[in-house]
Amino acid sequence: MMRAALNLIGEEATLVVWLTDLLMDYQAIIEEIHGEALALKGQGRVATYIPALAAVDPARFGIAIETIDGGIFAVGDAAEKFSIQSISKVFNLALGISLVGDELWHRVGMEPSGNAFNSLVQLEVENGLPRNPFINAGALVVTDVLLDHLKRPNEEMLNFVRKLRCSEIFYNEEVAASEKATGFTNTALVNFMKSYGNIHHEVDEVLDVYCHQCSIEMTCAGLCRSFLFLANGGVVPGSGERVLTSSQTKRINAIMLTCGFYDEAGQFAYRVGMPGKSGVGGGIVAVIPGELAIAVWSPELNDRGNSVIGMHALEQFTSRTGMSIF
């Protein structure tokens, strides 16, 4: 978008003013989107299959943006912590790739699922090889890979995310326990994959680490900051630490675009046009490579498990700014 502006605007002073106005407009844009999207409240339902999530106030709604060059914009409940749930699968994948590289793809695929995120049927048809790392089966396999390399996996996962400039994050032990106590399908997935030799560690150990990852609590502002390395070629803005190579970063972004919303990934790509990841806690985070990360939280979900207001807000953001990867 900025390259296009360089072609259209000849005078340097005009260009500087135009770019400054664009950055300043982020706040006005998200405030406008926030106000309009409130009319959609009541069109979804809070996740109830995890008891600890059922008590979340459905009226919560926040939006936050952070740009690579340090611009920060927020509105609504952007500073309130919530359970990020499946958004944690991106951290899971990034840490796994940083440890084993392309070896990871011997045990999990990279294709869209087209089925529910916890499908046993698809796993049976494909002989215990999960379709991608963002469905539950795939994330469980990545967790198993991490257990090959991490002595204190729960602690080391938090340390990995904190390295992404998000220091104030912790597990919600109530949510983790609630997920583990009611996660019968996840238990079945792990046992089924273990029967095919695609799970190497004890079932309870894999489930404990996985449930803790999903119980991480973050804010919209924190999610933006922690995803900026994916908008910056694998380098953490501010610290300058390289987490992934630029090629690995590109591939994670590609998988987020094609698989980050389960069997609604096509809709998100069509309507929004950004690599992103959702969670049943109501959060969605997405990136524009080279520019920014944006996070939305609204707990009411559609029938695909994605935030109703979050999907709408992000569609409005790319439509109004003209910023997408397409």
Residues annotated as catalytic are: 86, 89, 210, 262, 280
Distance CA 53, CA 324 (A): 32
As given in the structure block, the two tokens for residue 40 are 């959609």
Distance CA 249, CA 265 (A): 19
Specify which residues 293 forms β-bridges with.
Answer: 66, 287
Residue whose tokens read 């985070």: 285
> DSSP 3-state assignment of 307?
strand
Backbone angles phi, psi at 152, to 5 degrees: -125, 75
CA-nearest of 212, 86, 205 to 137 is: 86
b/e code 245-255 from CB counts within 10 Å (16+ = b): eeebbbbbbeb
Distance CA 29, CA 67 (A): 15
Give 13's contacts (C-beta < 8 A, 6+ positions apart): none
